[in-house]
């Protein structure tokens, strides 16, 4: 019989500890200490209580927990001395049925890992969907994690231990993230479409208006119909638009969505999560035969990443009336204009048709967007959700430092005008200056010595600057200081300087009342509230220009890596994001009933 939360909350401490037995390998103290925080409002609250206990424990206690785990496909498995939970997990992952070669390879990895880190490799082999990683995924992860620094890997092992405990806890409580699982599966399913050249290598690349891109749009539209949307269509720029009507014809609508295009060799969740999560909410409403006093309009934006054409936020820009007419004549790498690409995709390819997509903000309550975090913060804090306070302001420069190329052997150190060293000095300063703010970031992502040689002092250095901060004022101060330091360094070193500003975007602070709705939605789930800025740009930035907006972030695994095939999210976290979105809809329904 599965345990209920009520039983756990009401049991004596001894009984309750018994109920949670086996969650953490040979370490009942974690659950026992967490039980002091009863009653728990939700499983998510209980999970977080255990996370907090372990986070506050000493490093020795954390290491003891890690060392209490068996090696993957290790001696304990062979001698059948694993705990029942571990046996079950390793069997499901197929580790009890390795070929002799696979087994030998895993033993070798175990030995290397132990020698480097001094503790066993811990992996939640049931994976982000709970149904088990393949042997190939397990071995690839093992090989990758061998390269991590020790402190990072210790923290990563603890995260996997929490994931293992989460799945064991779900099993004990007979809880299955049913919606999260199906939304997770929608991502897998959509990822079968990929552009030629990438598809063959098993990589996900969906750029604007390719055949794979059109196939994605058709799939999303079909799924919207299955979910019970009243109207579904693909608009003149390729956005997939689904509307679920409110209880009255004149009901205002909530606008939501994100993009379905990807970067080259990208992840499966970037953008798509923000389309599928509200679709799952509509599916629930439709299944319950419910209408809210507001309409729900979900848009799968056709283009956000600017990969095929230099036109980022094209999809959301069309809704705000910011489609740049010159884009239609822009050519891709193969010389195909955007107009031709549109017509090839069966779209009109005319400014007139695109102009009709502009939305009248007065008919909308606002815009919300769910997005995978694309950063390490939530993963590090072991939190499933984060509420976005602001999308960072940014500014970008392309620069060139010009010194004097001279002989590397004969030019004394005090006579050099080394352009690359000047930029190196700036790089160190930029790092320190941005760090001092706490939440600013500064990146020199491109740094070249054009025509450089091993035996020549760099005469020129071309480099980029990307500066971001949560507010325009903070970005401006960061920019001012870094440019001033750059000029000072160059003057001191006798270096000439050219700078060209290539992009400037204003911060998009969340509308306070919308941010508050997300905060209430997250708190209602028993999940601790964490507010954070968004370092990356999102479609919400565009909609921000015409209506109030706020975003919800969902934790990414593997340190939150994104724009990378390792991007991942658990079906448990996705389920929480669907529940948070449903809660936000209920809040809006209540507000608009009177």
Contacts with Zn ion, residue ranges (CB under 5 A): 270-271
Nearer to Zn ion, 379 or 474 (CB): 379
First to last CA, the chain: 44
DSSP 337: B
Nearer to Zn ion, 270 or 418 (CB): 270
Which residues have C-beta within 8 Å of that of residue 430, sequence separation ≥ 6? 442, 443, 444, 465, 482, 485
CB of 441 to Zn ion, least distance (A): 17
Which residues have C-beta within 8 Å of that of residue 245, sequence separation ≥ 6? 230, 231, 251, 291, 295
Which residues have C-beta within 8 Å of that of residue 85, sequence separation ≥ 6? 22, 25, 168
Contact 267, 567 (CB under 8 A): yes
Nearer to Zn ion, 306 or 496 (CB): 306
Burial class (CB in 10 A: 0-12, 13-18, 19+), 212: buried
Rounded to whole angstroms, how far apart are CA atoms 189 and 186?
5
CA 177 from centroid of its chain's CA atoms: 20
Nearer to Zn ion, 110 or 320 (CB): 320
CB of 545 to Zn ion, least distance (A): 18
CB of 181 to Zn ion, least distance (A): 23
Helix axes 273-287, 178-190, angle to 10 degrees: 130
Nearer to Zn ion, 267 or 458 (CB): 267
Nearer to Zn ion, 259 or 460 (CB): 259
Nearer to Zn ion, 159 or 371 (CB): 371
CB of 274 to Zn ion, least distance (A): 8
CB of 544 to Zn ion, least distance (A): 15
With b meaning 16 or more CB within 10 Å and e meaning fewer, what string describes 97-136? ebeeebeebbbebbeebeeebebbbbbbbbbbbbebbebe
What is the 3-class SS of 364-428, one letter each residue? EEEEEEEEECCCCHHHHHCCCEEEEEEECEEEEEEEEEECCCEECCCCCHHHCCCHHHHHHHHHH
Nearer to Zn ion, 153 or 305 (CB): 305
CB of 269 to Zn ion, least distance (A): 9
CB of 270 to Zn ion, least distance (A): 4
Contact 517, 579 (CB under 8 A): no
Nearer to Zn ion, 22 or 556 (CB): 556
CB of 538 to Zn ion, least distance (A): 6
CB of 52 to Zn ion, least distance (A): 31
Rounded to whole angstroms, how far apart are CA atoms 31 and 49?
9
Rg (CA), the chain: 26
CB of 187 to Zn ion, least distance (A): 13
Nearer to Zn ion, 110 or 256 (CB): 256
Residue 62: CB atoms within 10 Å: 19
Quick one: which H or E segment has residue 461? strand 460-469
Nearer to Zn ion, 270 or 382 (CB): 270
CB of 371 to Zn ion, least distance (A): 6
CB of 127 to Zn ion, least distance (A): 23
CB of 564 to Zn ion, least distance (A): 13
DSSP 23: S
Nearer to Zn ion, 431 or 545 (CB): 545
Nearer to Zn ion, 271 or 315 (CB): 271
C-alpha distance from residue 316 to each of 235, 408, 542, 545, 576 (Å):
12, 52, 6, 11, 26
Give me 523's structure tokens: 């708190």
Rounded to whole angstroms, how far apart are CA atoms 435 and 439?
7
């Amino acid at each position: 019989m599965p345990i209920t939360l009520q039983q756990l909350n009401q049991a004596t401490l001894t009984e309750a500890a018994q109920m949670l037995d086996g969650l953490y390998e040979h370490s009942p103290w974690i659950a026992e200490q967490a039980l002091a925080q009863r009653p728990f409002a939700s499983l998510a609250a209980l999970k977080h209580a255990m996370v907090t206990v372990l986070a506050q424990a000493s490093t020795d206690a954390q290491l003891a927990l890690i060392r209490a785990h068996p090696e993957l496909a290790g001696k304990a498995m062979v001698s059948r001395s694993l705990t029942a939970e571990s046996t079950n997990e390793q069997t499901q992952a197929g580790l009890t049925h390795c070929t002799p070669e696979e087994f030998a390879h895993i033993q070798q990895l175990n030995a290397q890992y132990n020698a480097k880190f001094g503790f066993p490799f811990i992996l939640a082999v049931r994976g982000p969907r709970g149904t088990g990683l393949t042997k190939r995924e397990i071995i690839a992860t093992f090989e990758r994690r061998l390269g991590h620094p020790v402190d990072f890997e210790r923290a990563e092992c603890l995260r996997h231990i929490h994931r293992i405990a989460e799945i064991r806890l779900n099993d004990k409580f007979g809880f299955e993230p049913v919606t999260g699982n199906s939304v997770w599966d929608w991502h897998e399913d959509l990822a079968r479409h990929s552009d030629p050249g990438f598809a063959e290598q098993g990589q996900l690349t969906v750029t604007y208006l390719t055949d794979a891109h059109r196939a994605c749009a058709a799939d999303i539209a079909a799924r919207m119909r299955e979910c019970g949307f009243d109207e579904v269509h693909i608009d003149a720029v390729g956005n997939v638009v689904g509307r679920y009507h409110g209880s009255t014809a004149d009901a205002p609508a909530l606008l939501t969505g994100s993009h379905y295009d990807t970067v080259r060799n990208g992840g499966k969740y970037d953008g798509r999560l923000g389309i599928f999560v509200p679709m799952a909410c509509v599916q629930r409403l439709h299944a319950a035969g419910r209408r809210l006093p507001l309409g729900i309009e979900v848009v799968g934006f056709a283009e956000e990443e600017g990969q095929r054409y230099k036109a980022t936020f094209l999809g959301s820009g069309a809704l705000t009336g910011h489609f740049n007419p010159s884009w239609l004549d822009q050519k891709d790498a193969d010389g195909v204009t955007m107009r031709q690409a549109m017509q090839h995709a069966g779209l009109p390819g005319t400014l007139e048709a695109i102009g009709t997509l502009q939305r009248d903000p007065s008919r909308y309550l606002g815009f919300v967007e769910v997005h995978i975090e694309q950063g390490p913060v939530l993963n590090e804090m072991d939190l499933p959700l984060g509420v976005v306070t602001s999308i960072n302001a940014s500014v970008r420069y392309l620069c060139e430092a010009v010194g004097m190329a001279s002989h590397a052997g004969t030019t004394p150190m005090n006579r050099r005008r080394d352009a690359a060293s000047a930029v190196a000095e700036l790089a160190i300063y930029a790092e320190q200056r941005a760090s001092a703010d706490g939440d600013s970031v500064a990146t020199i992502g491109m740094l070249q010595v054009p025509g450089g040689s091993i035996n020549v002092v760099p005469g020129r250095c071309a480099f980029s600057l990307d500066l971001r901060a949560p507010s325009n004022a903070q970005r401006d101060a960061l920019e001012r200081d870094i440019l001033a330091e750059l000029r000072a360094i160059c003057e001191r070193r006798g270096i000439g300087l050219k700078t060209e500003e290539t992009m400037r975007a204003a911060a998009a602070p969340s509308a306070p009342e919308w941010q508050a709705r997300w905060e209430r939605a997250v708190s209602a789930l028993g999940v601790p509230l964490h507010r954070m800025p968004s370092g990356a740009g999102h479609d919400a930035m565009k909609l921000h220009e015409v209506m109030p907006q706020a975003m919800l972030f969902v934790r990414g695994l593997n340190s939150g890596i994104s724009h990378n095939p390792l991007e991942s999210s658990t079906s448990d976290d996705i389920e929480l994001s669907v529940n948070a979105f449903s809660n936000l809809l209920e809040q809006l329904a209540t507000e608009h009933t009177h």
